[in-house]
A and B are shown apart, each in its own frame.
Chain A
């Protein structure tokens, strides 16, 4: 693994919004690498550029300057559809607001990315059921989002993100809308997925408690990386 290019590499990535008077430097020269199997927490004050960084990582947005290399491929050179295919095949998203489809069952939500992959219905269903089992939602497959609690909805969202077996899971404040108990459950689930399945996980969080689960912490401040530390102590059990 060390021989090939790293999973992710940011080279002096800048993302500016607006111009002149109203210019906002959301990211102003960010460098870092992520290799397979890492579990990162991203922290920093509000407005420091965490979400901007996640959007670029997720190929939803492109740098104004600098390079984002995904397995050595410069994302800036890809077309809109190529970036969509990259999301489809290698990336999993979990959002603060869950972002499940309304009036749609948990199973259908989880099947959705596989639908876009053109998988046959039978296989799709099997994979989606397995993913729901992995996040501990057996028996809730046919509930719609309105019939699930916040923690359960976030589990569905995680199942939807991992069902395609992505290279990396990007979670922007996944516990922001949950109480402390539920938050710990979600973090334990992500830890398990990282340890047992080797899933690379990147979590944005405001809470140091949650960052404890990660093995490496990036701290953003005013569009820069203020610190990038590996955790010596293993995550709390």
Chain B
């Protein structure tokens, strides 16, 4: 019985292919847009969190700025001193490595080749907290760090740009005005989530950068690495307490610095994507509504056109609910067909977009199922009124209808 009704509905849709297609266009577009954007958004989220977890899962970032806990506004605060870094390193037991950083943009020159890059002045521990490996040569010695000698470790793309195939070890380059001897090269990390080159930088002793480039003893950023993932919370608490004390923050006053871990960064980066998803859902709801009204409209037309047919069916023994089901099934078939086409188009667009943006294609079966069920639901909701109208027709009048 149901099966006959489905076959009948299918035939009815196929007999009016153009009309059916136009009817479900709204649903197709709505569903396709949502599927495409959610899938792309999912890919972007996965990509960003992947990149951020690439920072090292135990990474803690400390920067001298206050974050307003209600508005999220970030205001600058006095910078750290090398002593703060040292204090964390010696007093906080739950961290395994700490690195203070000062960054400046400089011109790196070797012979005729030169390139705009960033010099990161740092002390011991940078490679460990940021999870960078020195693949050629070596890292800084304690003596070099203490004295601020003119030595540096190159990022992979800077090495490629300045030296090509040649070995850079032992060569001298100029960073702005300072001559530096290259003692090592870092592994390659590739492009970042936002597409920038993560390997275009050079590491130098913090002491050197402070003395010769920034001109102050300020430390702008501190990286720390918790000993274990479980210790991360404790490390954050200990660092916060220590820095409050060292920076003379009174009890009850907010921190004049911010401590974030890798997870929070990921949440921050993906929360913007969440807003986008909410916005898209609103668009989807509207287009499904419009699509539903389109279906209702065409079903009412169809009921009117087929009044005589309904009369015949009622005369030969169809019950009200048989006729109701027939039209409801047709509406649901129509809308879920539109939903299916929309899903396929959406996935195709998302696939093309993902490969264009070089992002992963993350298929979310949940959202596909929801999109399908929603489009079917639209058919039920908006098909019900026309179907009921059909079922309640007076058989005599329906039979007399021209």
Contacts and interface: CB of A to CB of B under 8 A. Distances in A.
Interface stretch (A34-42, A97-105, A221-229): A97-105
Contact of B399 (A87, A99, A116, A118): A99
| Most chain A CB inside 10 Å of its own CB: which residue of B311, B316, B318 | B316
Identify whether the interface residues of B are mostly helix, strand, loop, or mixed.
helix
B319 A99 contact: no
Interface of B: 1, 4, 11, 15, 308-309, 311-320, 322, 395-396, 399
A84 interface: yes
A87 B320 contact: no
Contact of A112 (B311, B313, B396): B313
Contact of A99 (B1, B4, B15, B312): B312
Instruction: Indicate the member of A61, A81, A84, A160 with the most B CB atoms within 10 Å.
Output: A84
B312 A87 contact: no
Interface of A: 55, 58, 60-61, 80-81, 84-85, 87-89, 93, 95, 99-103, 112-113, 115-118, 160, 164
16 contacts: A60-B315, A60-B395, A61-B396, A84-B318, A87-B317, A88-B317, A93-B315, A99-B308, A99-B311, A99-B399, A102-B309, A103-B11, A112-B313, A113-B317, A116-B317, A116-B319
A55 B309 CA distance: 17
A60 B396 contact: yes
B314 A84 contact: yes
Contacts of B1: 115-116, 118
A93 B309 contact: no
A55 B311 CA distance: 13
Contacts of A116: 1, 313, 316-319, 322
Contact of A88 (B15, B312, B316): B316
Contacts of B309: 101-102
Nearest to A101: B309
A115 B320 contact: no
A113 B315 CA distance: 10
Given A87-B317, A103-B11, 4 more contacts: A55-B396, A80-B320, A95-B399, A112-B313
User: Most chain-B CB neighbours within 10 Å: which of A87, A95, A103, A117?
Assistant: A87
A89 B317 contact: yes
A87 B315 CA distance: 7
A93 B231 CA distance: 85
B313 to A, nearest CB: 7
A101 B312 contact: yes
A103 B15 CA distance: 9
Contacts of A115: 1, 4
Contacts of A84: 314, 317-320
